[in-house]
Structure 1
Amino acid sequence: MNKQRVLERILDRLEVDLDVAIRAAQTAYEAATHEENIAENKYDTLGLEASYLAAGQARRVEEIRQALALYRQMTLKPFDGERGIQPGDLVALASANGSEQWLFLGPDAAGLKLQMDDRWITVITRRAPLGQSLLGKLDGDEVDVMVNGSRQRFEITQAL
């Protein structure tokens, strides 16, 4: 698994998401400002609802732009066994039942999922409990995380 390819895929995905969000924001703005949506009485809220949607879409566009900027500035480094897992590292975890998951510790865009080489990779950040638990850990270490009120244990099987 190649970290640079993962980073490129994240950038590609964020650029597509940004394009979709910009178009959605424009559509919502047009609906909010269209003359047919001007309130005729105090119970006519279609224009108001459309303006809330437009504002939310505009915030989403800005969030994606910020994530893109952070990923574009990111410099990937080889895994350092002395520092342990750091942002920019790709990590494989095994659960107690033997299932494996791949994570990319990124600066933003938590929850983004990518498929590469027949594997799914989930982006997490250091703000997430699992991201915090992984910082500084090495291959073979175990991490415990509370998920929905229950403690789950994972073994780090590979860090790149």
Structure 2
Amino acid sequence: MISKKTTYAFRALLHLAKAPNGQPVLIADLARDEKIPRKFLEFILLTLRKGGLLQSRIGKGGGYNLALPPDKITIGSIVRVLEGDIAPVPCLSDTNYARCEECQDEATCGIRLTMADVHVALSNVLDKLTLADMIERSETERSKRQNIVDFNI
């Protein structure tokens, strides 16, 4: 499962992606509009900026905006910046490798071999989907719901 931090990051990134002409958005406005605790949001945005997904400007006209177009920001990159490596078991992690205590031989471990397939599949999906896909899916569902005719009287 993704953490609350990543969920808040998705909400903030979606908000920033919808900002007109990529205009910077103030943290206070973003926190208020998305109902995200401001201090927590500051930490999240700083992490995303350090990860190369956001830009920030200080002073008049300042705030945060996307560093890349929404179709160039993958869901995988967001998750990795905030959660770390996407590995279902520690022995598959590129950044936080740890040998499993109970494992006798990694080369023949059925758990590791099976989870390696899961790791590849999950990474492939997360690296194909983008912030733009997330926006499009949401808008598609919203438009479908608006076309529903309610016959209740």
Which structure ranks higher in relative contact order (CA pairs < 8 Å, sequence separation ≥ 6)? 2
Q: Which has the larger radius of gyration?
A: 1
**By percentage of residues, which structure has more helix?**
2
TM-score (norm. length: structure 2):
0.32
**By percentage of residues, which structure has more strand?**
1
TM-score (norm. length: structure 1):
0.31
